[in-house]
Structure 1
């Protein structure tokens, strides 16, 4: 059998956002080579300017966004490269979410890298763009080969980004843990793909869908059933679903805050789009075999995620368990898509992800301004009285936490409303009830941090000193003007002096306190504040305006498998 295929310009048009990101990766690395370095150039040095490379990376993201938006209005095929990757409206909508998350992550990075003195900027921003590229590939994949390629591209980039702070043991631990556990998940996914190929003889979603509908007779054969089980494990790991969530709190806590903000959104979008394509569309004819398993994982993830978040005193870990719970809510859309309402389920997932994007990145953006070099600054005790030290940061963090809790009129309420409505329409009122009860439970741990910032710790609050991050107070330590501490004090009334003391100088200058922390970087923090402003605006606008466009979103979701 021979196979001949020629690439057309329409194929390149369909993946234009991905092409733009790949070209910008090369440009970012080239600019990094040309920028002047401070001092002698070596593997431990980097460009002295911390603003050029993020601007180059941000331009790449904006260009990819512009191309994606243009594709909504330009006639182009719904799939490209022999139906291996989709370019329909549903895929383009997912592209927008990933690119906005990546752009906000880039904006949060310059001040963070400067404050922690991380000089390898070229690698950092190139890896961010590569991670976005892999996520776009996986989100648009309509062939198992592209699913695995996209998964490996963004996973390899995130392994390095999570362990990017080489002076921080928790960052190294986060990268290693994510690498080891993600490798196991990738192996499960690849083995499941191979078994499905052995059972059907195809890797294309459309061909597998036709084969299963013709030969399954309502139930999958054993080989296909085993492949489906292995795929469930692989996708559940990327969504941080219970019982495959153990990596999430440690990785979220140890990774740099801007990386955590970006990956908490991007990995979910990529994995859930592939998840809903495979189970909600491709394997819809054998839904009775996989739906009880996904239903159980969804319920377990919702309940366990909220329960484990209750006792957290570290806001990064609390948001990690919150992310697990939100992943469980999103799995409701997968269950609904398999219950004969696949377009409603897919549109609910897309809308909820667009809501989750702004409020979650906003919360981690505030943390990026609070985080110190030793990975502290955001414990519950350290956030006490933040309102009195920095009301802007406290107000923004409270705003995003209330949105995550689901208070109207912010996006959290609109996203949950549409997702629970989809569960009701899809014939799963029990998921609606469980979701509402879990959301009420989740309000407690969000309000706990808000109450600590606003209602505690007003006494003894002192502004930040040199070398500390925004809004974080250290205990006051008296500083003496002497060069070394006095071990044995001599009574003033004693007339006998054993050792002559050198008198102190008459004019004492203020001592220079040297710490291992770099000085705060105010000149780059406008980028972080811009990202927080965009996230806050999106948290309001998406929750108030976008619900009026839900029919359009549903129509876009209906094209996911065309």
Structure 2
């Protein structure tokens, strides 16, 4: 049996956003080679790298976004490369979400890398671009093989990015945990794909759907059911769904804050779109076989994600459990998409939710990136006490994004949940609407607790003194004063609460060990911080636009949902 396929110009046009990213990743590595370096080329980066390399990476993202927007108007074919990749409106919409998340992650990176004095920036930005490419592949996959290729491409890049801070143990632990657990999830996914191929003889979503409808007569064979179970494990891991969420808090806490901001959105978009395509479209005819399992995972994720976030005293771990809860809300869209007549409504609701979640979550992590210190501190409850009096702009923006994540109108979180719960209601799952509303009310508490800490509590003096103490310097202790008595002997003057010492005071000087200057939350690095403020400003504007303007178009979005995914 022979197979010959020649790619046409329309095929390459359909993957133009990915081509731009790959080309710019190669250009970026070449630019890194010719830039001036300080010291040994393999270890130290020059000052130009902190501006030139992110500019080149951002140029690649903007070029890819321009290609995706252009495809909206030139109407490319719904699928390219022999029905292996999608180029429909829904895929392009998901591509834009991923690219915006990647662009904001790049904007947050220069100030963060400068503050931590991280080197190998060429590899950092190239890995970000390649991770985006893998996410675009998985989001547009119409074949199980492309799903696995895209998954592995962005996972390999994220393994390295999570452990990129080599002088921080928590970052190394983050990368190792993500590598080990994600490898198990990838193995489950690959084995599930193998079983589905053994049961149907196909790897294309369209061919699997035809097989189930024609040869299996709408009944899922046992081998196909086992394969679906393994696929569910792989997809649930990437969405951070319960009970496969244990990696999320540790990885989010240890990874660099800009990387965490990007991966918290990008991985969800890629995995969720593949999830919807496989279960909501290709296998919608056998929904009775998989729907109870996905329904249970969605409910557990929504409830437990909010419950586990209640006792968190670390803003990064709080956002991690918040991400788990939001993954559960998104799975409601997968459940609704399983209904034969309402699959497009569930898919459109999930895509709209992702577009809102993009700005809220990246904005919150953007503020955290400005607070985070070199020793991975700066965002505990004790550090956030009284932040409003010390850095009012950061406190106000963080409170704004937390309120949006909680679902307060008129911000994006309210519109996203409203449309998703509405889809659940008309999709025949009112119980998911009730559970989602109750869990959202529960989630308001832990968001407001951090906001109250920033605005209504004063910082502990002991913690403030420890923060202001210069690194490598021992705080001076009060030296006893002496007085001369009538007999000419020097004695220590008695002080209240102190014991007189008759020994001669010895003046000792402890020299501070020279250490690289690092910024703390109280003394930020203003150099290159403008990049981060631009990203946070875009996130704040996007949170308002998606929460105030887009909801007026919700009826039109619902009517146009039929054309989102094909």
User: Structure 1-normalised TM-score?
Assistant: 0.92
Relative distance call for 1:486 and 1:16 in structure 2 (3 A) is closer
Q: How does 1:462-501 map to 2 (within 5 A)?
A: 474-475=466-467, 491-493=482-484, 495=488
Q: Does 1:12 align with 2:12?
A: yes
Q: Does 1:544 align with 2:535?
A: no
Aligned partner of 1:466 in structure 2 is none
Q: How does 1:225-374 map to 2 (within 5 A)?
A: 225-340=225-340, 341-374=342-375
SS at match of 1:220: coil
Relative distance call for 1:297 and 1:537 in structure 2 (3 A) is same
Distance 2:270 2:382 in 1: 36
Distance 2:316 2:506 in 1: 52
Aligned partner of 2:47 in structure 1 is 48
Distance 2:313 2:149 in 1: 38
Q: How does 1:13-412 map to 2 (within 5 A)?
A: 13-38=13-38, 40-49=39-48, 50-340=50-340, 341-412=342-413
Q: Deviations over 1:443-465 (max 9, x none)?
A: 00000000000000068699xxx
CA positional deviation for 1:501:
7.8
CA positional deviation for 1:4:
1.5
Distance 1:129 1:159 in 2: 14
Aligned partner of 1:523 in structure 2 is 527
CA positional deviation for 1:119:
1.4
Q: Deviations over 1:327-355 (max 9, x none)?
A: 00000000001122100000000000000
Question: Any conservation in 1 of the 2:383–2:459 contact (CA below 8 Å)?
Answer: no
SS at match of 1:543: helix
Distance 1:490 1:189 in 2: 73
Count of residue pairs brought into register by the alignment: 544
Q: Deviations over 1:186-217 (max 9, x none)?
A: 00000000000001111111111110111333
CA positional deviation for 1:513:
9.2
Q: Deviations over 1:353-399 (max 9, x none)?
A: 00000000000000000000000000011100000001100000000
SS at match of 1:409: coil
Distance 2:479 2:408 in 1: 61
Q: Does 1:534 align with 2:541?
A: no
Q: Deviations over 1:129-172 (max 9, x none)?
A: 01000000000000111101100000000000000001111100
Of 450-459 and 174-183, the range deviating more from structure 2: 450-459
Q: Deviations over 1:457-478 (max 9, x none)?
A: 068699xxxxxxxxx8855559
Distance 1:186 1:478 in 2: 46
Aligned partner of 1:465 in structure 2 is none
> Which stretches in structure 1 are left out of the alignment for 5+ residues?
463-471, 505-510
User: Structure 2-normalised TM-score?
Assistant: 0.92
> Which stretches in structure 2 are left out of the alignment for 5+ residues?
491-502
Distance 2:505 2:90 in 1: 84
SS at match of 2:389: helix
